[in-house]
Structure 1
Amino acid sequence: MVPPHSPRRLPPLNAVRAFEAAARHGNFTRAADELSVTQGAVSHQVRSLEEWFGFPLFERHKREVRLTQKGETYLAFVRAMLNELHSVTQMVRGKTTEESLCISVPESFAVNWLIGRLGSFAERHPELTIRLTSQNQIDDQGRVVGEEGPHWVDLRIRYGRAKWPGLRVLKLFDEQVFPVCSPGYAVGGLRELTDLGDHALIHDDMQMSWASWLRAVGADHISPPHGPAFSHSHMALQAAAAGLGIALGRSVLTHDYLASGALIRPFDAYVPAEHGYYLLCQERMANLPKIQAFKLWIAEQVKEFGPPAVA
């Protein structure tokens, strides 16, 4: 940390701005158009920043520039700082100009729980535009790479065991795992766990296996017939609701299905899930108004599952 009265040794800030624009566009000419300067001016600014560091930030090619590894590392911090500066400036000015809040989220969690509740957040914060993206679109630098070009993730929701060093972590849910099926499928044939041996079980690649679940409840002697398999939990739950068999559901993902009656729990037996849901953000972004707004909102939403806790 810099002592209170010590001068900060900062790089030339105009050069930092030119560097960020060039990195985002992958081209000095387009960066110059954005900044309303010449291509030569952008090139000069970037070169002065590289001289200040003593190493290159870009690899130069005929029609484009590409970040070096050190350039990628520096860009991650520069972009976060510029975003934070923009947000704080808007807050101090009392402006409510629209800005985006990009959240990386597991697909099944988005489909089965989050999207149906986002309307209340939008009503509370009309100045924020929510952008959801799946976690498999995130690169190593925390960027979403898509057709519109790279943009940065503000928050991440992850299913795991709270092992994310260097990030601010808020635990949202613990879960239970239990069988679910449609009401019609259960009629007349599901009273005891042993009845599972007569029914098709739906398999979910993202979920605890049926073999593990049966072993955990002391029913591994049961050998049910093999049923359909799906790569995502929301597909498996849709299949169960459609009457294709019995799926293993987690308490968060099945909550709305159970509340609406689309799915039921034919047995009381359950197994505690090994993982939970967590909300993650960079420490340096944790106090941004838009981050705080979403954290407050989602903490209110999860009260029905118990209070969130810092992991």
Structure 2
Amino acid sequence: MDDLATATRDLRTHVEARPIVISTLPVFMEKWLTPYLSDFQNGHPDIRFRFDFHDGISTGGRGFSFGPDIDAMIVYVERPPEGFQSERLFGEKLVPVCSPTLRAAMPDTLTLRDILSQTRLQDTFWPDDWSVWARAMGHPGNLQAPELSFALYNGLIQSVKSGMGVAIGHSAMIRRELEAGDLVAFDAFAIDAPESYYFVTRRSLRNNPKLAAFWKWILKCSGNS
């Protein structure tokens, strides 16, 4: 009985000490979540995290992968996966963006052709942004591949800011750049993104008080509390 009690105590200590493991898109972590995290840590100094990353492709139209060591995922999908506890955080707009300098060199009244005639930049993990946007604009036929692609969203945004070309911006991920005037959005050409950001976990994990605290907090940050 003493051995059993010791083993139970050790297991409880291990579970309590184990960090919460959350898998998300690198861009979501960098551009949206990180600026808020200090607020959560200040209110919950006893909760530790480990953030893993997925590329977003495996959670799209080709299946949903939830690793055994993952407590929760923040995914970008059209609809939440079945068999899990999920909550929509928010959607966003897809909108062409460029630097203020490049915008000044373009016509005051823009046409679809004006935008497509510019050098097109793209994030490799969102390869369909240009084609999805162009179809919504009524563009006939298929677009040629963008001239430049970037594996990191921050690299894409820096290239747009430097005046290299036009990209399809994800409005929730570039809010600070737009507010600072570092990017100019062609708002008349904005569309609703087909996907939304969802917080997903196994239903059994919702009873985890530390995970539940993070769940409540991120919903508040996203405006869904």
Gap runs ≥5 in structure 2: 59-64
Q: Where in structure 2 are the equivalents of 1:1-311 lying within 5 Å?
A: 86-87=15-16, 100-135=19-54, 142-143=67-68, 152-191=69-108, 192-193=110-111, 194-207=113-126, 208-220=128-140, 226-303=146-223, 307=224
Compute the TM-score of the two structures, normalised by the length of structure 1. 0.59
What are the superposed Cα offsets for residues 203-257 of structure 1, whole Å, 9 maximum, x if unpaired?
2233234233222112448979953112343432232123211100112112222
Taking the aligned partners of 1:282 and 1:108, their CA distance within structure 2 comes to 23
Cα contact 2:72–2:201 (8 A) shared by 1? yes
Taking the aligned partners of 1:86 and 1:299, their CA distance within structure 2 comes to 25
What SS class does the counterpart of residue 286 from structure 1 fall into?
Answer: helix
CA gap of 1:300–1:198, structure 2 versus 1, over 3 A, is same
CA gap of 1:141–1:168, structure 2 versus 1, over 3 A, is closer
Residue identity in the other structure for 2:216? L
What are the superposed Cα offsets for residues 173-202 of structure 1, whole Å, 9 maximum, x if unpaired?
122211011222211315303322442111
Cα contact 1:182–1:241 (8 A) shared by 2? yes
Cα contact 2:77–2:196 (8 A) shared by 1? yes
CA gap of 1:122–1:229, structure 2 versus 1, over 3 A, is same
Please say which structure displays the higher CA radius of gyration. 1
CA gap of 1:123–1:99, structure 2 versus 1, over 3 A, is farther
What are the superposed Cα offsets for residues 284-304 of structure 1, whole Å, 9 maximum, x if unpaired?
11021111111111112112x
Q: CA deviation at 1:134?
A: 0.6
Residue identity in the other structure for 2:77? G
Higher RCO (C-alpha under 8 Å, 6+ residues apart): 2
Q: How many residues align?
A: 209
RMSD, aligned α-carbons: 3.1
CA gap of 1:103–1:223, structure 2 versus 1, over 3 A, is closer
Cα contact 1:177–1:250 (8 A) shared by 2? yes
What are the superposed Cα offsets for residues 83-114 of structure 1, whole Å, 9 maximum, x if unpaired?
79945xxxxxxxxxx65222111111111111
Cα contact 2:131–2:142 (8 A) shared by 1? no
- Greater share of residues in helix: 1
Cα contact 1:107–1:134 (8 A) shared by 2? yes
Q: Percent identity?
A: 24
Taking the aligned partners of 2:92 and 2:191, their CA distance within structure 1 comes to 9
CA gap of 1:141–1:177, structure 2 versus 1, over 3 A, is closer
Residue in structure 2 matched with residue 74 of structure 1 by the alignment: none
